Amino acid sequence: MWKRACKADEVPANGLKEVAVEGGPRCVIANAGKEFFACQAACPHTDVPLVEGIHDGNVLTCLEHMWQFDLRTGAAMGDAEAPMDTYKLKEENGELYVWVEPKT
């Protein structure tokens, strides 16, 4: 089910914002200009907050050890040895929503 994450204008242009999604994960929203992406909040390497990283609209870099991830798929890139989780995200009327799997 879709859960509200934040307003689109709360995510800095070409920046990152960490949010807690009700009934879902803490995640980082990346503003890539015309697109937004959602991924896990902590680097899979050492739990460093990914909101402290940087991105170029395609690649998110954790500045702790320079692990890099594809923002669209979460795939590990470069020296990264593990992928990160990504979440489906949609924008509706200026609000961002993250898909949270229903609990069974």
pTM: 0.93
Residues in the chain: 104
* H and E: helices and strands count for the chain: 0, 11
Question: What CATH number should be reported for the domain whose range is 2-99?
Answer: 2.102.10.10
Angstrom distance (rounded) from CA 89 to CA 81 = 25
Burial of 18 (0-12, 13-18, 19+ CB in 10 A): middle
pLDDT in single tens digits along all 104 residues of the chain = 999 999 999 999 999 999 999 888 899 999 999 899 999 999 999 999 999 999 999 999 999 999 999 999 999 999 999 999 999 999 999 999 999 887 66
β-bridge pairing 26-31 and 76-77 = unpaired
Angstrom distance (rounded) from CA 99 to CA 52 = 23
